[in-house]
Amino acid sequence: GMGGIGKTTLAKKVYDHPKVMAHFDCYAWITVSQSYRVEDLLRTVIKRFYSSRNERFPEEIDRMDEESLISKSREYLQQKRYVVVFDDVWKVDFWGAIEHALPDNKGGRIIITTRIQDVADFCKRSCFVHVHHLQPLPPNKAWELFCRKAFQFELEGNCPQELEELSLNIVKRCEGLPLALKVL
């Protein structure tokens, strides 16, 4: 979905939910963005998995090549349920580079957020992939969010009557994008 629609916010709410944390043995949140090296990404994933279990990661991880990192990740996760979020993926080849490091055996879950439809489509070639498209907020929910943020310290989050017309115009221009409604 487009920038500001709430992909990261939704993924974070799921990731941080106590039931999710209790269900998985280890977890990792990785912000990918536009430029990355696969080796660095794999290293970070492995380290986050170790630290999520309060374990020290083996120092040799810093010296491993891509193939060794994939093996290490698979070995570590072999008997574990894991969840990993890859936030803000821009490149179609991302999934092809990373999928082999994450075994599909004990109910591991992978969440990927992206603005790029081709990235989502590429991930779909794997089994059991569900693509969730976020929609802009409907006008009444957009108005609610705007008022809650803009007038949070007065009138219990309600818009003063003298600002209503201006506020409605602002909300309309934000086209239901939560981030735009929040940062105004």
3-state secondary structure of 76: helix
Tell me which DSSP letter residue 142 carries.
Answer: H
Q: What is the pLDDT of residues 21-51, one digit of tens each?
A: 999 999 999 999 778 899 999 999 999 999 9
pLDDT for the residue 183: 76
Instruction: Kindly indicate the confidence band of residue 107, based on its pLDDT and cuts at 50, 70 and 90.
Output: confident
DSSP state of 2: -
pLDDT digit string (tens) for 111-170? 888 887 777 777 766 656 667 777 888 888 888 888 888 888 876 778 888 988 998 898
Q: Residues 61-104: pLDDT tens digits?
A: 999 999 999 999 999 999 999 999 999 988 888 888 888 999 88
- pTM exceeds cut of 0.95: no
The dihedral built from the CA positions of residue 63, 66, 72 and 76, taken in this order, carries a sign that is: positive
Residues with Cβ within 8 Å of 116's Cβ and at least 6 positions away in sequence, in order, are: 89, 90, 92
Per the CB < 8 A criterion, the answer to whether 171 and 143 are in contact is yes
Domains belonging to the chain, first-starting first, are: 7-123 (3.40.50.300), 139-183 (no CATH)
